[in-house]
Amino acid sequence: MKDLKWFEFKQNNSGGRFIVNDKVCNKLLIEAVSFNEAVRKAEELGCYWDGVSKGIDCSCCGDRWSKYDNKPVNIEKYKTEGYGVSIYGSILSDHKTEWNRKYGKYETIKNPTFRKGYSTNAVVYSGSIKFNNIEEYAQFMADEYGWTVPDIRIYYHNGSVKEIFRESKEE
């Protein structure tokens, strides 16, 4: 069998709401041989394209689903080079505690360093973390960007499905 890749389909909250049911939620990760196979699977699940031009989605919010980013999720790169993350705050903030709270469960590839932010007292604390597999990537994305319950569904090529829920809460 050909090499399998992961493709990501993100939902825009067109019209001010997300569609969540037993097949779709905020984000779908689909394992497939090709982008076209992943698109077909996404369509079977209920994703559609060009919703604004078809009169389905809100013209000011944009299309609910997009299939324009056809690059696979590069887990192998995140294993070796890491995934860049940052914490923004004031120079007086406890950045190490915040880093550990948000990213401590992931292995650090590049230790975080400070750089000046956009205002006088602002700083950015940036580094990179490692994802060993698609589940770690999905959990990170749910914790950082989750909007629905579940936040992400992972569709494996073998037909199994895993739901990912946001674990961390912003304080």
Q: Return the HEC string of 98-149.
A: HHHHHHCCCCEEEEEEEEECCCCCEEEEEEEECCCCHHHHHHHHHHHHCCCC
The pLDDT score that the predictor gives to residue 161 is: 98
Sign of CA dihedral 135, 139, 142, 145: negative
pTM of the model: 0.90
The mean pLDDT values, 10 residues at a time, for the chain of 171 residues are 90 94 97 97 97 95 89 95 88 78 93 77 87 97 94 98 84 46
The pLDDT score that the predictor gives to residue 1 is: 58
User: What DSSP character marks residue 48?
Assistant: -
Q: Contact 19/40 with Cβ under 8 angstroms?
A: no
162 bridge partner residues: 154
